[in-house]
Structure 1
Amino acid sequence: MFENSFVNRVLHKTLWLALLPACMLWSAFAMLSRPADTAPPQQGAGRELPAQWQGATLRPLALSEVEQRFTRHFPGTLARFAIEAPPAETAPAQGGVANESIAAGGWQVLVLRGVDKPTRMLHPAADCYQGLGYRIAAQQLELDRQRQLWRCFEATRGQAGSGQRLRVCERIVDANGQGFTDTSAWYWSAAMGQSQGPWQAITVARPL
């Protein structure tokens, strides 16, 4: 009985040692012969940065340290710009009062996030500002002069009167021009094939 078990163990080990190099060779062959388009995509690679937005000249800005860390895990692209001329004013939202301009006066910052597939990592701008220590208030929907709907809010950090207070508006646009003001609605529409990519999340911030 012991002899048979010993022989079996030797045979199994011999067979395994013979098959292991073959498995390694097959894995290497499969990797080398894999078509190039099956490699993990570099999403957003090669995207051309815009020079203008709504008639305003854009000046590229360097990403902050926090943004650089974010891009290491974000499945898409992130670009930040200074808007050097004010875009169009917002029109009154349906059922609301006339809104102030999305970008009236002062410096403005435009952040563009691009993704090629649905992802839960495309967070609302309000969540991003809260993560940076801002308090969020006065959230509402607004229409601009082109009748495009935006989700806007006020972000405040620091002491009243001496802190930082921003007006932030955002929307997501798909390849066909369809717009979204809610990231969950965008995600499910994209995941179910009702919205086609690539998608771009547009965020505009200005001081108050």
Structure 2
Amino acid sequence: MSHALTIAILGLAAGVFQWLSPVMTTPNKETADQLPWPETFEGYLLTPLPMTAMEREFQRSFPGQIGNFRSGENQIILRRVTRATRKLHPATDCLKASGHRIGKASLYTDHQGGKWSGCEVSKAGQTFFVRECITSPNGKIWTDVSSWYWHAMMHPDSGPWLASTIISTSQY
């Protein structure tokens, strides 16, 4: 194949990808603000917690909605996401940045058979278990943000998605 033909094919492929790019990243038509937060999670009543100033600032540029809840001794963070975004990242990234020691990550299956990523997190003599997953309206589950991100990029109309993070004193 000649050098000129190779360049022409690569240029054409780049042009097609650039033409499709706005379509692939179009935000989901249903906004997260239209959907109420659940009143219970895994059978336990959710009590809303006030957002900190830093969380409110982050929320302003987040494509969706963030809710912080207490359920018994558990803290539950729910993020409804309307489009693919790099602003959705594992909770362990934030915890590590705030000085927590992060244990080895593993897959976890809950009592209903749901899949989660999970690990122990510790700081100042306190140990917690953090588990998280992302779900779509049709029940698809991702246990890592990266695989969800690429799915959301290629299938923007399959959301909004719910990213759930549970911080508990025990692995259950």
Give the shorter-chain TM-score range: 0.7 to 0.9
Answer 1 or 2: higher relative contact order, Cα 8 Å, separation at least 6: 2
- Secondary structure in 1 aligned to 2:93? helix
Distance 1:141 1:195, change over 3 A: farther
Partners in 1 of 2:119 and 2:53 — Cα distance? 24
Match of 1:70 in 2: 58
Structure 1 contact 152–170 (Cα < 8 Å) conserved: yes
- State which of 60, 69, 87 in structure 2 corresponds to 1:121: 87
- Secondary structure in 2 aligned to 1:66? helix
Q: Does 1:50 align with 2:16?
A: no
Which residues of structure 2 form unaligned runs of 5+? 1-28
- State which of 152, 159, 165 in structure 2 corresponds to 1:190: 152
Structure 2 contact 83–156 (Cα < 8 Å) conserved: no
Q: How well do the aligned residues superpose, as a CA RMSD in angstroms?
A: 2.0
Partners in 2 of 1:52 and 1:200 — Cα distance? 14
Distance 1:151 1:173, change over 3 A: same
Partners in 2 of 1:154 and 1:137 — Cα distance? 5
Match of 1:145 in 2: 111
Partners in 2 of 1:82 and 1:193 — Cα distance? 32
Deviation at 1:196, TM superposition (A): 0.9
Structure possessing the higher radius of gyration over alpha carbons: 1
Residues 74-113 of structure 1: CA distance to partner in whole angstroms, max 9, x if unpaired? 22110011113xxxxxxxxxxxxxxxxxxxxxx1111000
Sequence identity percentage: 36
Match of 2:137 in 1: 175
Match of 2:24 in 1: none
Q: Which moved more, 1:171-180 or 1:187-196?
A: 187-196
Partners in 2 of 1:189 and 1:152 — Cα distance? 21
Moved over 4 A (4+): none
Match of 1:83 in 2: 71
Residue pairs, 1:10-21, within 5 angstroms: none
Q: Does 1:202 align with 2:164?
A: yes
Deviation at 1:43, TM superposition (A): 4.3
Deviation at 1:178, TM superposition (A): 0.4
2:136 maps to a residue whose letter is: D
- Secondary structure in 2 aligned to 1:138? coil
How many residue pairs match? The answer is: 142
2:164 maps to a residue whose letter is: I
Question: Could you tell me the TM-score, scaled by structure 2's length?
Answer: 0.75
Which residues of structure 1 form unaligned runs of 5+? 1-40, 85-106
2:66 maps to a residue whose letter is: L
Distance 1:42 1:129, change over 3 A: farther
Structure 1 contact 178–195 (Cα < 8 Å) conserved: no
- Secondary structure in 1 aligned to 2:105? strand
Q: Does 1:111 align with 2:73?
A: no
2:166 maps to a residue whose letter is: V
1:61 maps to a residue whose letter is: L
Distance 1:56 1:193, change over 3 A: same
2:141 maps to a residue whose letter is: G
